[in-house]
Structure 1
Amino acid sequence: MPLFQKLFSKRFGPIFLLYLIIISLAFITRTALLFKSAAGFEWTFLNIIGIYFIGLFYDTVLASYFCIPLVLYIWLIPNKIFRKNWHRIILYGYFLLVTFLLLFNIVAEWVFWDEFSTRFNFIAVDYLVYTTEVIGNIWQSYPVIKILIIIFLIAIATFFLIKNSIKASLNSSLQFSKRTMIALPLLCIPILSWFLVSNKGKEFSNNQFAVELAGNGLYEFGAAFCNNELDYNKFYATIDQDRAFKIVRELLGHDNVTFLEDKNSIVRKIKYTGDEKKYNVVLISVESLSADYLGVYGNTQNLTPNMDSLAKNGLLFSNLYASGTRTVRGLEALSLSIPPTPGQSIVKRPNNENLFSIGNLLKKQNFDTQYIYGGYGYFDNMNYFFSNNGYQVIDRTAINEKKEIHYENIWGVADEDLFTLSIKELDKDYQSGKPFFSQIMTTSNHRPFTYPDGRIDIPSHTNQEGAVKYTDYAIGKFLKEAATKPWFNNTIFVIIADHCASSAGKTELPVYRYHIPAFIYAPKIVKPQVFEKLIAQMDIVPTLLGMLNINYDSKFFGRDIFQVKPDEEWAFVSTYEKLGFIRNGHLLVLSPQKKVQQFKVLPNNDQIEEKVDKKLEEEAIAFYQTASYLYKNKLLSK
């Protein structure tokens, strides 16, 4: 009798069988994702061996968790019941369910990798909260029913292949004491792994695709779920607190800046000469728009003729980088002007009310301040965050008449309908006699990439290029209509992406994947020019305040870019746990376990690891440490 058949015929044979199924499907998943990412994967012997052997370790840990209910059942069920014919239905059902879920996971991981080029992570956990939008997005993007039927049929076929092996164990008898001697060690495996294993063990290579492939998607999901907020001082490299604030104050100091408190503070007076300028400001945050989609940044597909024209006739920022990889990170940078603190975005954290935001600041300056969104604002906690930080929130619920909606999907109304709503609101603001600040968040440039027919030459539901071109169409239409309004000549329009379309690359923080488009358009106010200095996304807010010539006491970490000297350029990039600081062509990366790395960023977008420069390290730590300290201690309130 073959060895496997002997094992299956034993009382705990189903445990071994389940383990084989789990690691086999995990092997298939890993191999499929490997070939999907073949272009970015570094094909070395070490990487190939690493992803499969380290991957097997994490697959085994995951399998130990799946085996817990089966171990308990086989251990505690008496022999008399275990040998009953009806009993096999329970075991059959469990194997069929687990097989279906694991096959479904293969498809889910493929889809997630296609979007983010990573295993399940914090984003996947985040999406669980918003099941309506996420499930709706999947439903509109993929043939879900067909996929589920295929998965179910494969699960049934797999079950019939293993049915006899499950059945072989049902005639075995084993005394409870002997079952205990087997069950307890098996149960110790997941218990010990819970306390002793972390997902950091997969970080064996400098190639990020190899690191991701070495992990296990479901295990990574669990790890992200348990670590969705990270305490900076506990997990990251630190320096003396007084020194950290001293460094940050030196970096934020300018001729028009006076610090108002002695230490452990960045509160400072920002003073401009001349009178305040009561311009209106309309800030358009464009969903998932990488700089390389625009012609002014080198694209040759003519996807953005309207934005290209506007940018050429305005102030174009050629070297601006997003704070993170999610919409909420962009919203955080554009409202709070703060570096990306580790873990969840502040937009989604508890106790995020009454912060020092541009909304609260301009509201004190007698501006009408609004956040206008084409979807339902409960998504990503936007309603709560903005309404509690100085903005009036206007979302999908403000559009009541069906005739005002040309198209909508799970994320919200089409961008042209969002801008129609925005025009109405801006007209109301103008009639009130007060200047206005309105931040508009688009949604159409997002999977499933659907929009009204007949607007552009790329059919709806085709690809992201089509969604980009449609959003460009909607922005062009909006600005054309706005130009007919009496408030147009006195209005500054800012168009900026929230983050790039993709953040994946060969390294943990591929800098070029954070390069976003941004420009200011105001024909009567701003002269056409290209601004080439390195800029952080959070610099937009104080730059706008500078254009308004407003004197104010600031708690912002960003700076008016027109006050920045050539040797004072930097930017911030991040994932939920990797914190990057870019300066002078170098990227300093802070990671959990107090890890510090430095990379030289080459013109071809490659990044070569180099010796850590002490000065750059202290500057990076100082920014992130002080930002985390001020937020944690509620010192960033308005």
Structure 2
Amino acid sequence: MNNIPKRFSLPSIVLTVLLLVAKLSLLRIFFFDQTNIAGVLKDTLSILVILCLLELILPRIVKRPTFWIFNAIFSFLLFAATLYQIHFGSVPAYSVLGEMGQVPQIRASITPLIKPYHFLFFADLLIAAIIGILHFSRRNRDFRIHSSGSSFGHTRRINYRSKIITILFLAVCMGLSALFINRGQAIDNEWAQAEDVGFLNFQVSTALRNKQESDAIANGNLQQTKAAVEKLQSTYPYNNNKSTTTSQPEFFASAEEMNVIVVQLESFQNFTINLKVDQQEATPVLNKLAKESYYFPYVYQQIGQGNTSDAEFMSNTSIYPTGSEAMSVGFGNRELPSLPRLLQKYNYQSATFHINSVDFWSRNLLYPGLAFDNYYDKPFYTNDHFNDFGASDEELYRVGLEKLTEISATDKPFYAQFVTTSSHAPFVVPDEFLQMKIPTDLQGSQLGNYLSAINYTDYALGQLIEQLKEQGLWDNTVFVAYGDHFGIQPKETDAAEITAKLGIPYDNQISRFNIPLFIHVPNQKGQVVELTGGQLDIMPTISNLLGISLKKEQFTAFGRDLLNTDNNVFGMRYYLPTGSFFNNDVMFVPGKGFEDGIATSLKTLQPVQDIIGYRDDYDYIRSLMKLSDDYVQLLPRRTP
């Protein structure tokens, strides 16, 4: 026994397995608020697969440090995954690693979410480092190398035996993990799948599914997919009373040849509309605009990984985000069917305005892909240091109005998109820009800061509207404003707190995802349209008002014209699991499938017990979103 090597690596691998399984269990608690024996077993199998491979391929001398390095890297990834889940509310897949470069731009949004207990992932590394430093400082003896023929032979026998055991362990673990992954493939709900198969197995499952989809796309046909979309959409009863045989839909061409301005409002939730705080209107400008416009109070975000950039993508294309990557990053190099591209046929000039650098979220690819004629990014604005992004909304509109006035002088109609940032998290408004006095009990809180930021965004929008009127542009412009996504993080400000402090009903999901949509058409009376809608519906609705028939243009839209629809249904993924949808009545979120899903009333915010009647909507939306994914994947790449 004296000849057994002192550096036999089994203790190192065992220690590493125990530490990493403990960290994956911690991740389960952060993600799912619980852990269980079955989940721990599946996590253990996935870790053993990786560590057994390392055990087999690494030279003995580097195994121990390699295991610790792997532990450190893995700990960082779990820490990042936890912060990602808190910020985005989704289980991160491996594909999000490609978007880590965006983090510095949103660090102000993420930093408040970090809690001391999140650093438990690094506790063992800190302890090991302290022990290592103490051991190194006290170590003051010579090393002696022992070697003999019998020793070497015994070591070699030990190595062969350990490798055989490791290979057997690897085979068993891979087989069981493959079995669990295969069973989990039937679960569309990413949350349920990750909880069921384990975090690492979920990554493998996602990679396999992406590979299967890529293989299917490689053999796909764009025209056949468009035909399949049209056929599927014809089966859904979008209209009860509105005739589909009349020559033109209602309000068609009521804004023909008018300019179009679309303002995408950062982090803007609908609960702020008509809200009063200490007798102060949070959004006085939009409250007035709602009375003079088509106001849609039941519109919901549908964004994916790209957040704000995904909202830009959807409002211009009426295509679902895939959820696996930001659409600007993954599909900005495609020739995207879009409203700017469509309006080129009608002699429109198009421009988009954003005060950040155009390469943020790869907008340098997205904007040409959408066929905008011009984009105006960071260099065009004077930085008044409003927040981490730079210039204020007022500066954004100042430059925008200058450029639009120039286009208007050419006698061409224009389509302009403004992407605001002043109400971006963490919602801190510089004192010189404050327009609203926040009550004492809200000061310094996320909710109080949010209301201040929303109020300033509303104020700046009012300045733009007044300037459009002064320039004589307002009476010939369709003016659209909508929220890109939620602002209030439920882990910082719970629904109960909002209800208690503002005196309004609020749900952590429905109210959070509920964004406002306003469409102002000159000489049209204001109207509240209570139909449920999504961001996919913005483009078809604008097209109808402009007198552009998407059917005649053979334009494939996955959204609906909200002014000519009785029953609407649309899907949402990423912030909700795949298979989730909204219709006129409920928000539906599946479990592992439809049967264990949950429906919640959009009007009462209360659970709906009988869900059987929503099965057709569930099947329809799953099919439609799958076709949307196929469609965008098949779009041709632009020539350089």
TM-score, normalised on structure 1? 0.74
> Are the aligned partners of 2:266 and 2:423 in contact in 1 as well (CA < 8 Å)?
yes
Shift of 1:372: 1.8
Q: Is contact 1:272-1:551 (8 Å) kept? A: no
Pairing of 1:84-103 with structure 2 (within 5 A): 90=62, 93-103=65-75
The answer (yes or no) to whether the contact 1:630–1:636 under 8 Å persists in 2 is: no
With over 3 angstroms needed to count, the CA separation of the structure-2 counterparts of 1:562 and 1:547, relative to structure 1, is same
CA distance in 2, matches of 1:579, 1:210: 12
Aligned to 2:263: 284
- 1:139 offset after TM fit, Å? 6.8
Partners of 1:339 and 1:584 in 2: how far apart? 19
Contact 1:118–1:212 (Cα < 8 Å) also in 2: no
Amino acid at match of 1:332: F
The answer to whether residue 385 in structure 2 is matched with residue 407 in structure 1 is: yes
- Structure 2 residue matching 1:432: 3-state secondary structure: coil
Q: Which residue of 1 aligns with 2:51?
A: 67
Match of 2:334 in 1: 353
Alpha-carbon contact 1:34-1:213 (below 8 Å) kept: yes
Query: For 1:354 and 1:374, how far apart are their aligned partners in 2?
Result: 25
What is residue 231 of structure 1 aligned with on the other side? 213
CA contact (8 A) 1:280 1:435 kept: yes
Q: For the residues of structure 2 that align with 1:153 and 1:297, how far apart are their CA atoms? A: 47
**Residue 572 (structure 1) aligns with:** 571
Q: CA–CA distance in 2 between the matches of 1:66 and 1:58?
A: 13
Kept after mapping to 2: 8 A contact 1:449/1:460: no
* CA–CA separation in structure 1 for the residues paired with 2:36 and 2:114: 32
Letter in 1 for 2:418: I
Question: What corresponds to 1:248 in structure 2?
Answer: 233
Instruction: Provide the secondary structure at the position in 1 that maps to 2:288.
Output: helix
The answer to whether structure 1 residue 185 and structure 2 residue 168 are counterparts is yes
What is the Cα deviation at residue 284 of structure 1? 0.9
Identity %: 20
Tell me, in whole angstroms, the C-alpha distance in 2 between the residues paired with 1:200 and 1:466: 49
Q: Does 1:520 align with 2:519?
A: yes
1:418 aligns with 2:418: no
User: In the alignment, residue 411 of structure 2 is paired with which amino acid?
Assistant: G
Match of 1:428 in 2: 406
1:597–1:612 Cα contact (<8 Å) kept: no
Q: Aligned in 2, Cα 1:351/1:32: closer, same or farther, shift over 3 Å?
A: closer
Cα 1:137–1:587 change in 2 (3 A) is closer
1:114 aligns to what? 86
Residue 17 of structure 2: aligned partner: 19
Q: CA separation in 1, counterparts of 2:617 and 2:102?
A: 41
Per the TM alignment, residue 494 of structure 1 is displaced from its structure 2 partner at its CA by 0.8
In the alignment, what sits opposite 2:479?
493
Q: Is the 8 A contact 2:319 2:632 kept in 1?
A: no
| Offset at residue 582 of structure 1 (A) | 3.3
Structure 1 residues 279 and 257 mapped into 2: Cα distance closer, same or farther (>3 Å)?
farther
1:150, distance to aligned residue in structure 2 (A): 10
Letter aligned with residue 157 of structure 1:
I
What are the residue-to-residue correspondences of 1:368-447 with 2, within 5 Å? 368-399=349-380, 404-407=382-385, 411=389, 413-447=391-425
- 1:138 matched residue in structure 2: 107
- Cα RMSD (Å) of the superposition? 5.0
Deviates more, 1:475-484 or 1:96-105: 96-105
Query: Could you list the runs of 5+ residues in structure 2 that have no partner in the other structure?
Result: 140-144, 147-153, 218-223, 496-507
**TM-score, normalised by the number of residues in structure 2:** 0.73
Kindly state the Cα deviation for residue 591 of structure 1 after the two structures are TM-superposed. 9.7
How many Å separate the matches in 2 of 1:569 and 1:297? 31
Return closer, same or farther for 1:118/1:143 CA change in 2, 3 Å cut-off: closer
Q: Assess, with a 3 A threshold, how the Cα gap between structure 1 residues 139 and 346 changes in structure 2: closer, same or farther.
A: closer
Distance 1:387-1:112 versus aligned 2 partners, 3 A rule: same
Q: 3-state DSSP class of the match of 1:354?
A: coil
Structure 2 CA distance for partners of 1:390 and 1:298, relative to 1, 3 Å: farther
2:338 is aligned with 1:338: no
**Does the 8 Å contact 2:332/2:363 carry over to 1?**
no
Q: Which residue of 2 aligns with 1:606?
A: 607
> Which amino acid in structure 1 is aligned with residue 102 of structure 2?
E
Counterpart of 2:470 in structure 1 is 484
Note the C-alpha offset of 1:579. 3.6
SS at match of 2:432: coil
CA distance 1:307–1:226, shift in 2 (3 Å): farther
Question: Where does residue 318 of structure 1 map in the other structure?
Answer: 297
> 546-555 vs 149-158, which deviates more?
149-158
Question: Matched residues in 1 for 2:234 and 2:82: separation?
Answer: 46
Deviation (angstroms), 1:10: 5.5
Secondary structure of 2:454's aligned partner = helix
Question: 2:350 is matched by which residue type in structure 1?
Answer: T
| Separation in 2, partners of 1:604, 1:144 | 27
Instruction: Identify the range of structure 1 (103-112 vs 174-183) with the bigger mean alpha-carbon deviation.
Output: 103-112
Letter in 1 for 2:539: V
| Cα displacement (A) at 1:422 | 1.5
Contact 2:253 2:544 in 1 (8 A): no
Tell me by how many angstroms 1:188 deviates: 3.2
CA apart distance, 1:249:
2.9
Match of 1:3 in 2: none
Cross-structure match for 2:564 = 563
In 1, the alpha carbon distance for the partners of 2:377 and 2:332 equals 25
Q: How much has 1:278 moved relative to structure 2?
A: 2.2
SS at structure 2 position matched to 1:318: strand
Checking the alignment, whether the CA contact within 8 Å between 1:445 and 1:464 is kept in structure 2 is yes
Letter in 2 for 1:366: N
Report the secondary structure of 1:71's partner residue: helix
Post-superposition offset of 1:364: 1.0
